[in-house]
């Protein structure tokens, strides 16, 4: 079993400006100061504001470009576009060490998972996220949170080795997503519980779930999301083909793979370090749908 919880917390609370390099930000700040100084000088000396207006328009476009890339990095937009652009591979014809995209039915290996809140069994991947609105302190996860916004305060996310049956060739392969493997999940969690400012009372199942994890069960604004992939779901994986004694495996790339510049989407390159796990949109999947206390804000 592979614990991905820490990675999810770091991802949610990361304050870096990825995928913009730090050196690039320093250069942009320097150019901004130089451009602003020159524009103000020309405005004072020549009394012409055209250059200053053009400078602010250019800065607005650059900031929009940075925010667009930052947003897509947090939502894995570039990786999703990269995944869609890859052609489906035939596992029978794939060569050793080849990067492939395989779609097929998933089945549990020697270890199966159970989702934390809904107790869905026979899962190959399970993720439960607890968000809190405001700045109250929860003991299990000490993270930096801002007031007046939702912050991730607790996370359980696991994956395990599983089998995938290639829809093209019918071959069965082991996907190495268990302990020690790097996994990039593209699974969207469903909203199960959402307390509101008008109804902050927590349900008995939620109180029990919180108490089992030593989290305060006092009434407050909480949102609980959960996502899982069960045995029999159609999934898509991207990884490296490795064969050992007639056993075919999909493993993580030995080196970081770059998505490259996606200029049609105005996206900068993003590094992919691990096996990509996604749910195929062509299937009626076993990922849980919205249920429980869904209430408006």
Are both 68 and 127 inside the same structural domain?
Answer: no
The DSSP secondary structure of 245-257, one letter per residue, reads TTEEEEE--SS-E
C-beta of residue 139 within 8 angstroms of C-beta of residue 213 = no
pLDDT at 284: 43
Calculate mean pLDDT across residues 224-232.
90
Give the pLDDT confidence of 104-121 residue by residue, as tens digits.
Answer: 999 998 889 999 888 989
Q: Is the pLDDT of residue 265 over 60?
A: yes
Question: Do residues 59 and 96 share a domain?
Answer: no
Residue 34 lies in a domain: yes
Same domain for 265 and 202: yes
CA distances 121 to 115, 175, 194, 290, Å, are 7, 19, 24, 18
In this structure, is residue 292 part of a structural domain?
no
161 and 86 belong to one structural domain:
yes
Find the mean pLDDT for residues 253-278: 85
On the question of pLDDT at 42 being above 70, the answer is yes
Number of independent structural domains in the chain: 2
Q: Are residue 144 and residue 227 in the same domain, yes or no? A: yes
pLDDT at site 285? 39
Q: Please identify which residue in the block is written with the tokens 């809190």.
A: 132
Shared-domain flag, residues 135 and 242: yes
Question: Which residues constitute the domain of residue 54?
Answer: 22-74
Residue-wise pLDDT for 47-85, tens only, equals: 878 888 888 999 999 999 988 888 888 888 888 888 888
Q: What is the pLDDT of residue 69?
A: 87
Query: Domain check: are 28 and 142 in the same one?
Result: no
Task: Please report whether residue 10 resides in a domain.
Answer: no
Tens-digit pLDDT profile for residues 3-34: 877 776 666 555 455 667 778 788 888 988 99
Q: Which residues pair with 133 in a beta bridge?
A: 150
pLDDT digits (tens, 9 = 90+) for 119-168: 989 999 999 998 888 744 444 444 445 556 778 888 889 999 999 998 88
Nearest to 111 by CA among 94, 123, 95, 127: 123
Whole-number Å distance between alpha carbons of 134 and 123: 33
Query: Is 102 inside any structural domain?
Result: yes
Q: In this predicted structure, what is the pLDDT of residue 137?
A: 44
Burial label for 73, CB within 10 Å (0-12, 13-18, 19+), is buried
In a domain, 251, yes or no: yes
Q: Is residue 174 part of a domain?
A: yes
Same domain, 168 and 147: yes
Asked whether residue 142 is assigned to any structural domain, the reply reads yes
Residue owning tokens 């592979």: 2
In angstroms, the CA 200 to CA 216 distance is: 14
Q: Is 56 in the same domain as 111?
A: no
Whether residues 149 and 186 fall in one domain: yes
Please choose, from the candidates 120, 76, 14, the residue with its C-alpha nearest in 3D space to the C-alpha of residue 238.
Answer: 76
190 pLDDT more than 50: yes
Q: Is residue 1 part of a domain?
A: no
Query: What would the mean pLDDT of 185-214 be, rounded to a whole number?
Result: 82
If asked whether residues 62 and 93 sit together in one domain, one would say no
The pLDDT score that the predictor gives to residue 146 is: 53
Reported confidence tier of residue 228, pLDDT bands at 50, 70, 90:
very high
Q: Return the DSSP state at 171.
A: -
Q: Do residues 140 and 91 both lie within one domain? A: yes
Dihedral sign for Cα atoms in the order 256, 105, 168, 83: negative
Tokens coding 130: 């607890």
Q: Which two tokens stand for residue 17?
A: 């400006």
Q: Give the pLDDT mean for 257-266.
A: 82
Question: What confidence score (pLDDT) does residue 164 get?
Answer: 92
């Amino acid at each position: 079993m592979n614990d991905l919880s820490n990675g999810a917390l770091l991802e949610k609370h990361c304050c870096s400006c990825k995928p913009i390099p730090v050196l690039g930000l320093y250069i942009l700040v320097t150019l901004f100061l130089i451009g602003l100084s020159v524009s103000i000088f020309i405005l004072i000396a020549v009394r012409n504001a055209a250059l200053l207006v053009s400078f602010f328009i250019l800065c607005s476009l650059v900031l929009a470009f940075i925010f667009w890339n930052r947003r897509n990095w947090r939502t894995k937009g570039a990786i999703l576009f990269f995944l869609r652009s890859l052609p489906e591979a035939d596992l029978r014809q794939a060569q050793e060490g080849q990067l492939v995209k395989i779609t097929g039915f998933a089945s549990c290996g020697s270890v199966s998972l159970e989702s934390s809140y809904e107790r869905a069994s026979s899962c190959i991947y399970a993720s439960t996220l607890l968000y809190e609105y405001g700045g109250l302190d929860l003991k299990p996860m000490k993270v930096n949170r801002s007031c007046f916004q939702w912050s991730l305060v607790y996370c359980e996310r696991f994956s395990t080795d599983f089998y995938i049956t290639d829809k093209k060739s019918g071959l069965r392969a082991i996907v190495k997503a268990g302990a020690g493997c790097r996994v990039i999940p593209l699974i969207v969690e469903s909203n199960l519980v959402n307390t509101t400012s008008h109804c902050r009372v927590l349900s008995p199942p939620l109180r029990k779930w919180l108490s089992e994890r030593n989290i305060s069960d006092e009434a407050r604004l909480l949102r609980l999301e959960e996502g899982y992939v069960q045995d029999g779901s159609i999934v898509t994986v991207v990884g490296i083909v490795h064969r050992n004694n007639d056993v075919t495996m999909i493993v993580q790339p030995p080196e970081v793979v770059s998505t490259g510049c996606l200029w049609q989407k105005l996206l900068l390159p993003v590094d992919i370090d691990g096996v990509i796990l996604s749910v195929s949109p062509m299937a009626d999947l076993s990922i849980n749908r919205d249920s429980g206390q869904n209430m408006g804000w």
